[in-house]
Amino acid sequence: MKILAIETSCDETSAAVIEDGRKVLSNIISSQIEFHKKYGGIVPEVASRKHIEVISPVVKEALEKAKAEFKDIDAVAVTYGPGLVGSLLVGICYAKAVAYALGKPLVGVNHLEGHLYANFLDHSDPPKFPFITLIVSGGHTHLVLVKDHGKYEILGRTRDDAAGEAYDKVARFLGLGFPGGPIIDKLAKEGNPKAIDFPRAMMSEEYGYDFSFSGIKTAVVNYVKKTRSSDLRTQITDIVASFQDAVVDTLVIKTIKAAKDKKIKTIVLAGGVSANSELRKRLKEGSIKEGFTVHIPPISLCTDNAAMIGCAGYYRMKNGHKSDMSMSAVAGAKL
Ligand code: KG4
Ligand code: ZN
């Protein structure tokens, strides 16, 4: 069974062909970063226009790479939210048109669920239920107990900024560029993560598994403001390494605690921030120490891509879900 999957929730136009749920026949990603960089963030109107320009060639390339034609497609999966509404609509309209023209089923996929399913693609054995997943992206930071396909219990979430958002905002404040995550990840390797003791927010019992990342962003701003600019240049690597240390500490400590409290032995990482080298390393080390199994997607499947949407769509269809032509974009869709 071949699924054509489409993802346009933010600034990547992506199309993939997935066979039998897990096999990636193609996964084409066209990034718009170059068009947004100069604004220091994603400009929604620019994003929708760029999606419209490239969606057809991206789908064509995905089919070609998979050595398939439209007539070989058995179903169409598409992200319906959360994301930028104008961007989502481009993918949804395209997916609807293809499904309608081919007379094949259409399935809408939640973007966060998509990230999780990056772990079910054919690069490794899929995680066994139940497991704890940490979904960390530019817009979300969720700690979730996954009982089965589609059965989620949200244990905690960020109360303000998402982890990726904190990376992006700190990088922008320091004038490092956009998106901040990969830039800080690289620079932090040259700095001392213990140089500055930035706060680890909401670590006490009363906050449970919730996160907060806006305080650390303010702490970085305050630190920079009170440091002489002549000293600052040499300190940037220490600042970003210490910032990253605090963010990763919080994410890893809470994830391991959730697994221990819930007596779950498998941990699954997902979302754009799961590309972070320090988070990957520390979550692996922490999990091994506790005797847990840990699943982390390959870097290429961490950030937005359509392969993960095709995989999630396959399992949704297996569970009897199907969307119809009334499906629309849901900017604030919940997991
Ligand atoms: O999942 P994603 O591609 O898009 C959303 O669904 O939001 O995640 C993008 C986020 C951005 O905030 C980006 O800075 C962050 O993931 N990111 C990273 C790394 N690579 C991407 N954050 C930290 N370290 C990285 N290596
Ligand atoms: Zn994403």
Mean predicted confidence (pLDDT) in 133-148: 98
Same fold across 2-117+301-318 and 128-296: yes
What is the predicted pLDDT for the residue at 10?
A: 96
What are the residue ranges spanned by the domains of the chain?
A: 2-117+301-318, 128-296
Q: How far apart are CA 270 and CA 282, in angstroms?
A: 15
* Average pLDDT across the chain, whole number: 96
The H-or-E segment that residue 99 falls in is helix 85-102
Distance 243 CA to ligand 2 centre (A): 22
Model pLDDT for residues 267-296, shown as the tens digit of each residue: 999 999 999 999 999 999 999 999 999 999
Please report which confidence band the pLDDT of residue 32 belongs to, taking 50, 70 and 90 as the band edges.
Answer: very high
Burial of 250 (0-12, 13-18, 19+ CB in 10 A): buried
Model pLDDT for residues 3-16, shown as the tens digit of each residue: 999 999 999 999 99
Write the CATH number of the domain with boundaries 128-296: 3.30.420.40
Beta carbon of 297 within 6 Å of any ligand 1 atom = no
Whether 38 shows a pLDDT value over 90: the answer reads no
Nearest to 87 by CA among 141, 31, 38, 34: 31
Distance 23 CA to ligand 1 centre (A): 24
What is the predicted pLDDT for the residue at 63?
A: 98
Burial of 231 (0-12, 13-18, 19+ CB in 10 A): exposed
Please report which confidence band the pLDDT of residue 124 belongs to, taking 50, 70 and 90 as the band edges.
Answer: confident
Burial of 103 (0-12, 13-18, 19+ CB in 10 A): exposed
Q: How far apart are CA 6 and CA 3, in angstroms?
A: 10
Beta carbon of 179 within 6 Å of any ligand 1 atom = yes
Contact 67, 26 (CB under 8 A): no
Distance 96 CA to ligand 2 centre (A): 21
Q: How far apart are CA 295 and CA 315, in angstroms?
A: 18
Q: How far apart are CA 297 and CA 130, in angstroms?
A: 18
What is the predicted pLDDT for the residue at 230?
A: 75
CATH ID of 2-117+301-318, from 3.90.700.10, 3.30.420.40, 3.30.9.10, 3.40.50.300: 3.30.420.40
Name the residue of 248, 303, 305 whose CB sits within 8 Å of the most ligand 1 atoms, as the mutation to test its pocket. 303
Distance 8 CA to ligand 2 centre (A): 10
Model pLDDT for residues 216-262, shown as the tens digit of each residue: 999 999 999 988 777 777 799 999 999 999 999 999 999 999 999 99
